[in-house]
Amino acid sequence: MYTYAATITRIIDADSLVVDLDMGRHLWVRDAKHRLNGCNARANTDPGGVEARDNLAVLLPVGAVVTLHSLKPYKYGDEYMADITLPDGRDLVPLLIAEQWAAPWNGRGAKPVPPWPREQP
């Protein structure tokens, strides 16, 4: 696992994003795609998907700097799996799961989806 300061550049969907990684010593990796580890969220084309993406964009606005723990390459595509710590110290994925924007998932078997509409507490 590698830990970086990451600047949010784009939210793709409710569990994928693009960041600029500060590698230290004035070295940067630009436009690095990452997928959130430990969850699955609705696709943009699914009911509630756009709302879930927009919620993530509120939590991670463009230009925000977060702590990103890069874990391993994603099994499909050119993304890496990542854990993200918000600027206030909260872990992102448990927050998304608790608020029903994402469902817990270990990457194996059928992808679970969170309820839609979300259940109100």
The structural domains of the chain, with segments of one domain joined by +, span 2-104
Its sign, for the CA torsion 93, 46, 79, 75, is: positive
Query: Which phi and psi (to 5°) does residue 37 adopt?
Result: -80, 135
77 falls in which pLDDT band (50, 70, 90)? confident
* Average confidence (pLDDT) over 65-89: 94
Q: In the predicted model, is pLDDT for residue 85 greater than 70? A: yes
pTM of the complete model: 0.94
* Average confidence (pLDDT) over 84-88: 97
Q: In the predicted model, is pLDDT for residue 121 greater than 70? A: no
In CATH terms, the fold of domain 2-104 is OB fold (Dihydrolipoamide Acetyltransferase, E2P) (2.40.50)
Q: In the predicted model, is pLDDT for residue 24 greater than 70? A: yes
For 1-21, the pLDDT digits (tens) are 899 999 999 999 999 999 999
Q: Tell me the chain's radius of gyration from C-alpha atoms.
A: 14
pLDDT of residue 76: 83
66 falls in which pLDDT band (50, 70, 90)? very high
pLDDT of residue 56: 98
